[in-house]
Amino acid sequence: MSKHRTAFCGRTNRRQHLVDLGMGFGGLALGALLNQSGWASVRQEMGDLTLPLPVTHSRARAKNVIWIFLSGGVSHLETFDPKPLLDQFAGKTFEETGLPNPQKLPIYRERSRSVVGMDREVVSTIMPLQVGFKQYGENGTWVSDWLPNLAQVVDDLCIVRSMYTTDNDHNAEFQFQNGRHSLDEQQPCIGSWISYGLGSLNENLPQFVFLGKYSDNRVKRNFDANYLGPQHAGVELSLDPANPLPFGRRASDMLAAEQQAQFELIHRWNQLSAFEHPDDAQLQARIRAYELAYRMQMSAPEVLGLTDETPETLALYGMDDPPTELYGRRLLTARRLAERGVRYTLVYLSDYGEWDSHSNIKDLHAKCCGRVDKPLAGLIRDLKQRGMLDETLVVCATEFGRTPALEKTTLNQAGTGRDHHPHGFTIWLAGGGVKPGYVHGATDELGFHAIENPHYVTDIHATTLHLLGQDPTQLNIPGRKRLEIDYGHVIHDIIA
């Protein structure tokens, strides 16, 4: 006889029946329930995997993370890393500057790997800066004129100017989340590792939420749990409080009381099986997952409703202005989720590829900056005035920068934009234990290569986990080999 005894006249395995009913939202909630209730393990189809109880490996500086992503590739050169030599050498090739040609250095090939089977066309004619810069804050940090609101909170930002990745195509977006090039075996994303390692702080909400363009299948790899299982994947929420869940919601013709009765029936099934399987943690956890699904239908609308926010707070996020309303709403919702104990919220603060300015970068980047500048600064101000910034880590990232050369190729004849640039770019962090008003790392004189304290993307993962009290090298699954690059290295210099 199978070790999983059957019910329903021997035709249907009780466990499988419950799994079939519970797949979707209830399944995604399972990890939180296991951690919250102290279950030490769960049996999965592939075999027995031991899941750790939520423990910290070091002193946690942050409780939760708001991870913001700007899709398409933000130009570091027109935001936080100005290079005056670009104006001086405008119109010249790299060879004509008298500086070492960055495309002939060994690290050029090391930090560029095409996924489309061919290298991108080489561009080498330098393009001048497309916007002015001024110095702000106590340390005189350079900030683009396109970001006047972030400039006012620059003393709260920790800017890392020396990031690099290896995918020169837009799959670098997913590489930033899971650490692997798209041609290699994929890994769980950073949000899923946080879910796996720490679990939930609120039994009525998932520990990993995704806020972005509703049901955009192109971005789902950003919150994929891979082999950690769907219970650690991001739960996608719509901003519509009347319809917050894209799946797992109650049928339109079902009353709340009817659904509650359904859950109670399943609970009674579980009680009947207790005599047969008193130690069946998976079955117990699955039932509790149903309960969480029901509770979320009650709690999610309250989080998303924003009805208790003051007009001043809404204006702080730019929700009183159409160009910034949507992105302000996403960030305000992220703050509300963090306030209620959600461990990790991934905020997609753009349309897919919105920053991909192969042409007309001056107008396109100015527009993109205008959509996110006030909401981002509003988030920092709001967290700070609520006393939440110390325990909430904000990460604002993009998949790569833009090349110092103008793009004038067979793909783009205009010569008014910049191409993809994985060799060196900028991200910033705030709160959660990082140094405020600090700039770390540097690119070369032309903004091409990250040369001072260069960091691959998983270094941000390692630093984030460290600030949450987690040691990434301790997060492993039996039978799953992780590479050294997957763990990354903590950037101790940026920690306060």
The pLDDT tens digits for 393-420 are 999 999 999 999 999 887 777 789 999 9
Average pLDDT value for the chain: 84
Query: Is residue 11 pLDDT above 70, yes or no?
Result: no
Contact 415, 388 (CB under 8 A): no
Long-range contacts of 254-261 (CB under 8 A, 24+ apart): 256/297, 259/294, 260/294
Q: Name the CATH code of domain 64-240+306-475+482-494 (choices 1.10.940, 3.40.720, 3.30.300, 1.10.10).
A: 3.40.720
Return the top range by mean pLDDT from 115-119, 249-253, 282-286, 445-449.
445-449
CATH 3.40.720 boundaries in the chain: 64-240+306-475+482-494
Burial of 307 (0-12, 13-18, 19+ CB in 10 A): exposed
Residue whose token pair is 């967290």: 383
The CA-atom distances, in angstroms, between 235 and each of 48, 182, 231 are: 24, 23, 9
Lowest model confidence (mean pLDDT) among 209-218, 430-439, 471-480: 209-218
Query: Is residue 13 pLDDT above 70, yes or no?
Result: no
316-362 pLDDT, tens digit each: 999 999 999 999 999 999 999 999 999 999 999 999 999 999 999 99
280-316 pLDDT, tens digit each: 645 554 555 556 666 777 778 888 889 999 999 999 9
What's the confidence (pLDDT) of residue 293?
A: 63
Query: Is residue 19 pLDDT above 50, yes or no?
Result: no
The pair of structure tokens assigned to 105 is 């250095």
Query: Is residue 263 pLDDT above 70, yes or no?
Result: no
Give pTM, 2 decimals. Answer: 0.84
What's the confidence (pLDDT) of residue 122?
A: 80
The pair of structure tokens assigned to 288 is 């509790």
Which helix (H) or strand (E) is 255 found in, with range?
none
Return the top range by mean pLDDT from 69-78, 199-208, 473-482.
69-78
Cα dihedral 373, 374, 377, 381, rounded to 10, equals 180
Nearest to residue 233, comparing CAs of 204, 257, 207? 207
Nearest to residue 68, comparing CAs of 314, 344, 361? 344
Lowest model confidence (mean pLDDT) among 13-27, 199-213, 321-335, 430-444: 13-27
